[in-house]
A and B are shown apart, each in its own frame.
Chain A
Amino acid sequence: MTYLLLCLGFAIPIAIWTALLIRAKKVSGKVVLATTLTLAAVTVIGDNFIVSSGIVAYDESKILGIRIINAPIEDFFYAVIAVLLVATLWRQKPNDGPRKERVDD
C-alpha cells in the first residue's frame, strides 16, 4: 500500500489542477487522454525493460503486487502524471515567440 499511497499523494494535486484547467478550457481533455494512452503503452515496454534488467528493484511488502508483466502497476502513475504535468505547465504563459508565431500549441 505504501507505494500506492505515495503515488496518490503526488498524483492527486496534479490531477485536480489538470481537471480545473480542462474545465476552464485551457487544456484539451481529449488531447490529454490520447497522450496518456499513448505514453502508457510506451511505458509498458520501457518500464518492463528497467525492471526486468534489474535497474530498479522494489520492496514486495510495500507494493500492491499487481504487475503489468514485471512492472508494478503503481509505476504507471508516473506516465499519467508526466502527461498532466507537461500539459498544464505547457499551457501556462509566458509565450516568448514573436506575435505571429504564437500558435496555440
Chain B
Amino acid sequence: MNYTYLGLLAFSLIGTGLFDFKWKMALFHNPLRAAVTLAVSVAYFLIWDVAGIALGIFFTGSTGLITGIMLAPNLPLEEPLFLLLLCYCALLLFVAFSRRFKR
C-alpha cells in the first residue's frame, strides 16, 4: 500500500481548492452550480473510463505508487480523485479566463 499518488492528488486538490477559495471562483462562488458541474463531469469520465477498461484499452500498470484499493477491476481509488482534479482545474481555468477576457 503506497500513498504517493493519493497524496499527490490530495495535495493538488487542496491547492486547487485554495485558489478557488481565495478568488471565489467556483465552489466558493456558486456552490450548487459548481457541485453539479463537477459531479456530472466526473460521472461522465467514470463511464468513459469503465468502458475503456471493459474494452481492455487501459489497465493498472506495474507501479508501486498506488494504494492498491480497487473500486472495480483496474479502477483504482485514485482514479475518481484524478478525474475530479482534472475537472476542477478545467473549471477554475475556465472561470479565470472568463474573468480575464471581460476586463
Please determine whether A55 and B63 come into contact, CB atoms closer than 8 angstroms: yes
In the bound complex, what is the Cα–Cα distance between A31 and B48 (angstroms)?
25
Please determine whether A6 and B55 come into contact, CB atoms closer than 8 angstroms: yes
In the bound complex, what is the Cα–Cα distance between A59 and B74 (angstroms)?
13
Given the known inter-chain contacts A10-B44, A59-B58, please indicate yes or no for A42 contacting B94, CB distance below 8 A.
Answer: no
The interface residues of chain B, by DSSP majority, are classed as: helix
Residues of chain A at interface, number, CB under 8 A: 42
Please determine whether B51 and A6 come into contact, CB atoms closer than 8 angstroms: yes
Residues of chain B at interface, number, CB under 8 A: 46
Identify which of A35, A55, A58 contacts B97 (C-beta below 8 A).
A35
Additional 19 contacts, C-beta under 8 A, given A39-B89, A50-B82: A2-B57, A28-B98, A31-B98, A42-B89, A54-B62, A55-B61, A55-B66, A56-B60, A59-B59, A82-B45, A85-B44, A85-B87, A86-B38, A86-B87, A90-B34, A90-B91, A94-B33, A95-B30, A105-B99
Which residues of A line the B interface, CB within 8 A? Answer: 2-3, 6-7, 10, 14, 28, 30-32, 34-35, 38-39, 42, 50, 53-59, 62-63, 78-79, 81-83, 85-87, 89-90, 92, 94-97, 101, 105
